[in-house]
């Protein structure tokens, strides 16, 4: 069949159609973007504001490091808790493990958890346990469970089941077949997700302090609200940038090596 | 004549309206190597899967004559290894049935590990024991799958093209090891082979399936001067 024989609409696949829709919708949304109506000197404001960021004030470096440390601790603890909870919940959300009456309520619950942004979880937690790092841990744990449990259940659903079945045919018990057949195939992917979540939580933990849930965000809030502290604010931002970049870089390296190893490049 | 390990009565399999084989009546004698041969698509894999009770036959019956404590293991054509686990752990999968889930929760008994290493060494994988199965070559994966099945000490070993992706040197060594390991414990080996040379060299009996006619299968005793 040559090109002319194809019906006209066969040129539009899902990708093409959704791209056109996206383009049309974005252009259609342009008129809704309006300025304040006042006659402002945008560039002047920006340069004036940014200029006050420099040079960063290094005198607060040590204090900032303590704040960052607390941020990372919140991220670590909440990721660990979320991994444990997510593992259990994900079994209930996996089509190939759980029966239907467990599956749908669990998935619905996860959808609800994911609907609430981390900052809102932080606000809720601060209201309940007060303004401290425990609030941060609670907030990020709940927030992460929404994502991790979904990732885990998708991993269990997409994992190659053949080695589990092979072990069953060698008369292994269901638990043994899961532990030595399914789990080794799922583990590297699950570990990648955990690393990603940890990175993400360090980023989230930097901002939730803004509403009082511990960590470096509190410093950001203080400097942003006090007069002439933008050079301190910029130092905090700089430190967060360094940490996040390092984590991003390390996480990407580790995930790539896990992926390569699992996909198997014969040596 | 000693009692057989497995018998079939008028076994037949019909897939998508086509009979692959019919009226297949066999008995697998102990301490023997039975080769199943025939062209591609003739039903070798299906027959082995039926003998392993992974697939049900359309007609006929299978009668297992294994005693208590004896069992069957199968080597799959698509290997079915756990990619994210080391070669050693994959091989140890064969010993799971001998231990409770509780015993294997935190690792394997030392003597099982030693036995698994013995098998890996026999199949030239001793230096790859700590590597993930995903990083092995196709031939190495095939040998690893064989190690796993051998560690389960089956009385009847069913193997679907166990040497298909091995070079001729390893293919011959593998068939040799499988044959003598099975005979040593009075067990048998049933495997599909597509190389007639291998059938002549190793098998005691050859079951040949026929593409044209499902009932025209033949059972031949292969006589060799070495006995």
Q: Is the pLDDT of residue B92 over 90?
A: yes
Within a domain: residue B169? no
Domain assignment of residue B110, given as a range:
75-153
Under an 8 A CB cutoff, do A264 and B135 touch? yes
Within a domain: residue B167? no
The residue among B100, B129, B153 that closes a domain is: B153
Tell me which chain B residue has its CA closest to the CA of residue A174: B101
Per-residue pLDDT, B44:
87
CA distance B74 to chain A (A): 8
Under an 8 A CB cutoff, do B84 and A165 touch? no
Per-residue pLDDT, B212:
81
Per-residue pLDDT, B223:
80
**Band of residue B121 on the pLDDT scale cut at 50, 70, 90:** very high
CA distance B90 to chain A (A): 8
Residues of chain B with a CB closer than 8 angstroms to some CB in chain A: 52, 54, 71, 73-74, 76, 78, 80-85, 89-90, 92-94, 96-97, 100-101, 104-105, 131-132, 134-137, 148-149, 152
Same domain, B79 and B147: yes
Within a domain: residue A163? yes
Under an 8 A CB cutoff, do A266 and B89 touch? no
Under an 8 A CB cutoff, do B135 and A180 touch? no
Same domain, B66 and B109: no
Within a domain: residue A109? yes
**Structural domain tally of chain B?**
2
Same domain, B48 and B14: yes
Within a domain: residue B183? no
Within a domain: residue B63? yes
Least reliable range by pLDDT among A75-84, A139-148, B165-174, B205-214: B205-214
Within a domain: residue A43? no
Under an 8 A CB cutoff, do A186 and B84 touch? yes
Within a domain: residue B102? yes
Within a domain: residue B143? yes
CA distance B97 to chain A (A): 5
CATH number of the domain residue A187 falls in? 1.10.3720.10
Same domain, B10 and B35: yes
Q: What residues of A are in contact with residue B131 (Cβ under 8 Å)?
A: 267
Residue A187 main-chain phi, psi, to 5 deg: -55, -50
Nearest to A166 among B76, B104, B134 (CB): B76
Same domain, B60 and B80: no
Within a domain: residue B180? no
A2-58 per-position pLDDT tens digit: 556 677 667 677 888 889 999 999 999 988 887 777 777 788 888 877 887 788 778
Q: Interior CA angle at B154 toward B153 and B159, to 5°?
A: 120
Distance CA A250, CA A223 (A): 30
Per-residue pLDDT, A99:
79
Per-residue pLDDT, B173:
92
Within a domain: residue A8? no
Same domain, B195 and B208: yes
Within a domain: residue A121? yes
Within a domain: residue A173? yes
**Band of residue A267 on the pLDDT scale cut at 50, 70, 90:** very low
Per-residue pLDDT, A264:
67
Q: Is the pLDDT of residue B42 over 70?
A: yes
Closest CA relative to residue B123, chosen from B151, B102, B153: B151
Within a domain: residue B31? yes
Least reliable range by pLDDT among A59-68, B81-90, B164-173: A59-68
Same domain, B4 and B50: yes
Tell me which chain A residue has its CA closest to the CA of residue B141: A266
Nearest to A264 among B71, B92, B134 (CB): B134
Give the residue-averaged pLDDT of A146-175.
87
Same domain, B81 and B148: yes
**Which residue, chain included where needed, has tokens 């497995």?**
B6
Q: Is the pLDDT of residue B57 over 50?
A: yes
Mean pLDDT of chain B: 88
DSSP string, chain A: --GGGS-GGGG--HHHHHHHHHHHHHHHHGGG----SS---HHHHHHHHHHTT-S--GGGHHHHHHHHHHHHHHHHHHHHHHHHHHHHHHHHH-TTTS-HHHHHHHHHHHHHHHHS-HHHHHHHHHHHH-SSHHHHHHHHHHHHHHHHHHHHHHHHHHS--HHHHHHHHTT--HHHHIIIIIHHHHHHHHHHHHHHHHHHHHHHHHHHGGGTSSSTHHHHHHHHHSTT-HHHHHHHHHHHHHHHHHHHHHHHHHHHHHHHHHH----
CA distance A96 to chain B (A): 18
Same domain, B141 and B87: yes
Same domain, B55 and B125: no
Q: Is the pLDDT of residue B87 over 90?
A: yes
List alpha helices for B40-101, DSSP H: 44-51, 87-92
Q: What residues of B are in contact with residue A159 (Cβ under 8 Å)?
A: none
**Structural domain tally of chain A?**
1
Distance CA B165, CA B173 (A): 13
Same domain, B198 and B133: no
Reported as type and span, the H/E element at residue A151 is: helix A133-158
Residue B105 main-chain phi, psi, to 5 deg: -65, -35
With a threshold of 0.85, tell me whether the complex ipTM lies above it: no
Domain assignment of residue A211, given as a range:
60-263
Per-residue pLDDT, A178:
86
Distance CA B86, CA B107 (A): 13
Same domain, B137 and B200: no
């Amino acid at each position: 069949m040559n090109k002319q024989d194809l019906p006209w609409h066969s040129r539009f696949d899902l990708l093409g159609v959704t791209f056109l829709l996206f383009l049309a919708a974005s252009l259609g949304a342009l008129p809704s973007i309006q300025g304040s109506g006042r006659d402002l000197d945008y560039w002047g404001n920006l340069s004036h504001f940014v200029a006050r960021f420099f040079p960063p004030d290094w005198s607060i470096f040590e204090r900032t490091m303590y704040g960052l440390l607390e941020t990372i601790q919140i991220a670590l603890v909440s990721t660990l808790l979320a991994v444990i909870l997510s593992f259990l919940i994900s079994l209930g959300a996996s089509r190939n493990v759980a029966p239907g009456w467990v599956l749908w309520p669990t998935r619905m619950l996860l959808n609800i958890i994911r609907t609430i942004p981390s900052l809102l979880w932080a606000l809720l937690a601060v209201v309940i346990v007060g303004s401290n790092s425990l609030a941060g841990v609670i907030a990020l744990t709940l927030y992460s469970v929404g994502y991790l449990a979904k990732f885990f259940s998708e991993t269990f659903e997409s994992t190659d089941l053949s080695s589990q079945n092979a072990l069953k045919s060698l008369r292994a018990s269901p638990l043994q077949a899961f532990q030595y057949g399914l789990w080794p195939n799922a583990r590297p992917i699950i570990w990648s997700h955990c690393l990603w979540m940890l990175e993400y939580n360090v980023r989230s933990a930097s901002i939730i302090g803004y509403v009082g849930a511990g960590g470096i965000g509190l410093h950001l809030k203080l400097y942003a609200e006090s007069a002439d502290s933008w050079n301190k604010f910029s130092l905090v931002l700089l430190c967060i940038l360094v940490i996040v970049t390092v984590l991003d870089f390390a996480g990407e390296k580790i995930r790539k090596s896990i992926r390569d190893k699992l996909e198997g490049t014969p040596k | 004549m000693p009692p057989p390990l497995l018998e079939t009565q008028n076994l037949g399999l019909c897939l998508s309206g086509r009979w692959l084989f019919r009226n297949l009546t066999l008995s697998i004698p102990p301490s023997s190597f039975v080769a199943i041969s025939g062209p591609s698509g003739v039903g070798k894999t299906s027959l082995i899967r039926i003998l392993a009770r992974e697939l049900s036959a359309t007609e006929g019956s299978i009668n297992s004559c294994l005693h208590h404590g004896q069992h069957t293991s199968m080597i799959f054509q698509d290997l079915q290894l756990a990619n994210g686990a080391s070669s050693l752990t994959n091989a140890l999968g064969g010993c799971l049935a001998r231990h409770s889930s509780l015993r294997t929760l935190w690792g394997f008994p030392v003597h099982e590990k030693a036995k698994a290493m013995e098998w890996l060494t026999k199949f030239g994988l001793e230096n790859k024991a700590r590597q993930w199965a995903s990083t092995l070559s196709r031939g190495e994966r095939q040998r690893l799958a064989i190690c796993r099945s051998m560690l389960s000490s089956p009385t009847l070993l069913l193997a679907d093209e166990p040497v298909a992706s091995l070079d001729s040197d390893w293919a011959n060594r593998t068939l040799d090891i499988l044959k003598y390991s099975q005979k040593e414990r009075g067990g048998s080996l049933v495997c599909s082979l597509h190389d007639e040379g291998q059938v002549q060299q190793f098998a005691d009996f050859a079951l040949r399936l026929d593409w044209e006619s499902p009932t025209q299968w033949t059972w031949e005793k292969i006589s060799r001067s070495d006995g």
